[in-house]
Amino acid sequence: MSFKIVSFFSGAGGLDLGFEKAGFDIVFANEFDKDIWATYELNHPKTHLDTRSITEIQDDDIPECDGIIGGPPCQSWSEAGKKRGINDKRGQLFFDFIRILETKKPSFFLAENVSGMLASRHSESLERIKNTFLEAGYDLHFKLLNATDYGIAQDRKRVIFIGFRSDLKIQYQFPEPIEDKKTLQDIIKDLEDTAVPAINKSKPNPDVVIPNHEYMTGGFSSMFMSRNRVRSWNEPSFTIQAGGRHAPIHPSSPKMIKIGTDEFMFAPDCEYRRLSVRECARIQSFPDDFIFKYTDVNHGYKMIGNAVNVDFAHILAQSIKDALKNAPNKY
């Protein structure tokens, strides 16, 4: 049986791709950022992409579906952002996601967000979101998960909301962590010698042999230099963030040297470079034939950093699929 999925806040489609790998059919996607449209349409040619804001989408615009998935914008909840949570218009988009969920009444939903929404200052807002999911008629499963516990070569903590329509009486458990740990050596070692610098700090380099295998150049902010940004080959990556200025340093470099409180420096006479767009994509589990379209390399980093890790999404999607197949009340 094929399950039909509607995707919101789709970005480049990392979450969508993970669900497709698990056998789901993405019949409708929505993404408002014009810098992403070309990438999504190129890599998801069978999916209709709606480019309006979710606030403008009416219930009748959306096809019937078995599930709704998405990652409402996370900047409002992020430790690196303004931390305004639900008081920011972007934070309020969670409720448009729930509005559509409540009307379409699919069998399940999945929503993903950053760990920052668990901060005590957001506790009241978080409880409100949870209660709104429950009031919409769903049994809610909620947990903070780290991708590195599931065979992903990246420390990436994310809050996962999964809900099943209450009448289905589904007993769901999040996937158990696995012992197989992957490292940067396993994921990007073969790309080490083929990366090229961006042109004029952030323009695509036409000399790339491997698509998107260029890295942003230029200086590093004091915030970047406030801690070590190098993981070794035998470690998982730091979290891939949504911007080239925040990209981790390539693991061929030595660890940075602490010289004061929240202050590090690069080791003298050593070469340091940011991970390339393609290396970040590998760490986020995007396949090499997934091509990112951009005129500014920073947009490539942004698309990848904002995405849900593809293999992590696949694991969650498979657990949902198994739960649906074993539902006591078939639909």
CA–CA separation, 195 vs 213, rounded Å? 5
Task: Provide CB contacts within 8 A for 322, sequence distance 6+.
Answer: none
Q: Assess whether 270 carries a catalytic annotation.
A: no
Nearest alpha carbon to residue 66 among 24, 96, 99, 32: 24
CB atoms within 10 A of CB 67: 26
Helix 14-21 × helix 310-325 angle, to 10°: 50
Nearest alpha carbon to residue 46 among 20, 71, 79: 20
How would you label 156-176 residue by residue, b for 16+ Cβ within 10 Å and e otherwise? bebbbbbbbbeebebebeeee
Residue 76 is encoded by which pair of tokens? 């409002």
CA–CA separation, 238 vs 247, rounded Å? 9
Helix (H, G, I), strand (E, B) or coil at 224: helix
* The residue to which tokens 């970047």 are assigned: 224
* The residue to which tokens 């999964």 are assigned: 162
Q: Is the distance from CB of 65 to CB of 4 less than 8 angstroms?
A: yes
Question: 65, 74, 270, 280: which is the annotated catalytic residue?
Answer: 74
Q: DSSP characters for 227-244?
A: S--B--TTSPBPPPPSSG
CB-based burial of residue 178 (10 Å sphere; 0-12 exposed, 13-18 middle, 19+ buried)? exposed
Task: Output the CA–CA distances (angstroms, integers) from residue 9 to 63, 119, 146, 170, 226, in the order listed.
Answer: 16, 23, 21, 26, 32
Q: Residues with catalytic annotation?
A: 74
